[in-house]
Amino acid sequence: MGLFKRKKKVVKPNVIARCPHCGSNNGLQQVRNYICHECKKSVLFFKDTKNTIPLEDIEYQTCPNCNHKEFKGILLCTSCGTALT
């Protein structure tokens, strides 16, 4: 018993967000408010803690492939996975 160790489940990020403060990329499971792993500053997309109501002054970008509206700072489209600029 105990001959084999279980591998830890590696959770891959579904969303890549670029920090507006330092420019580092952060892997997230979903689009949400987060604290940058590099500079430790808060990055806010939503004004509530449940991540449902976007900030009023948030900027958007449109995916060139599927026309999905995405927050500025998200690097991959959450609908089709296309890289955004």
| 1 domain-assigned | no
Confirm if 84 and 76 have CB atoms less than 8 A apart: yes
Domain count along the chain = 1
| 76 domain-assigned | yes
CA distances from 77 to 39, 41, 52 (A): 24, 24, 18
Q: What is the pLDDT of residues 8-39, one digit of tens each?
A: 666 667 899 999 999 999 999 999 999 999 99
Q: What is the pLDDT of residue 30?
A: 92
Nearest alpha-carbon partner for 79 in 39, 71, 67: 67
Q: What is the pLDDT of residues 51-75, one digit of tens each?
A: 899 999 999 999 999 999 999 999 9
**Domain boundaries, position 49:** 12-85
For 10, the 3-state DSSP assignment is coil
| 39 domain-assigned | yes
| 50 domain-assigned | yes
Q: How sure is the predictor about 76, in pLDDT bands with cuts at 50, 70 and 90?
A: very high
Half-sphere exposure of 71 (CA within 13 A, CB side): 23
Q: What is the pLDDT of residue 1?
A: 52
| 57 domain-assigned | yes
Helix (H) or strand (E) holding 70: strand 69-71
For the whole model, what pTM was predicted?
0.78
